[in-house]
Amino acid sequence: MSNILLIDEHPETKNLLMKCLETAGFDVISTENGLVRVQLAHEKFSTTIESTKLKTTESIFPSIPRLPEVFEFIELNYHKNIKLKEVARAVGYSSAYLTDLVRKLTGKTVNNWIIERRLVAASTLLLETN
């Protein structure tokens, strides 16, 4: 959902804006105090799915102060053929040190985290696509 601030509230201007928004594929949710709330027509149906994806994505990685860059790199690149060496290089650690650190702090290896993220993506695709 997005908000548009309408400074010129002449009825003609407002009507023209509404027609343009509808032509562009937006649904007008509400208009009050010069604020027009809109969302893309297809977002009506995907908002719940997207929220679920975000919650799922956020919840698979633990919040550990020393590892946010590791999990961020995995999140951004899990769909590629990434290896431990690439993750370590991206966060400035050696592969051996990163393996030990991640295993000590999470109980899993970097490769386990990559696989787990891919499994979450795969299960989401299985649930939401034909």
pLDDT (tens digit, 9 = 90+) per residue, 24-43? 777 777 777 667 777 765 54
Q: Residue 110's CB: how many other CB atoms inside 10 A?
A: 27
Residue 78: HSE in the Cβ half-sphere, 13 Å Cα cutoff:
20
Q: What is the pLDDT of residues 74-119, one digit of tens each?
A: 999 999 999 999 999 999 999 999 999 999 999 999 999 999 999 9
Task: Supply the pLDDT for residue 100.
Answer: 96
Q: 60 pLDDT band (50/70/90 cuts)?
A: confident
Q: Residue 30's CB: how many other CB atoms inside 10 A?
A: 9
Task: Supply the pLDDT for residue 130.
Answer: 82
Helices 110-128 and 95-106 sit at what angle, rounded to 10 degrees?
A: 70
127's CB contacts (< 8 A; 6+ apart) are none
Strand partners, 40: 26
Q: 48 pLDDT band (50/70/90 cuts)?
A: very low
Task: Supply the pLDDT for residue 13.
Answer: 73
Tell me the chain's radius of gyration from C-alpha atoms: 22
pTM, rounded to two decimals? 0.55
Q: Terminal CA-to-CA distance of the chain, rounded, Å? A: 26
Helices 68-77 and 110-128 sit at what angle, rounded to 10 degrees?
A: 40
Task: Supply the pLDDT for residue 44.
Answer: 45
Task: Supply the pLDDT for residue 18.
Answer: 72
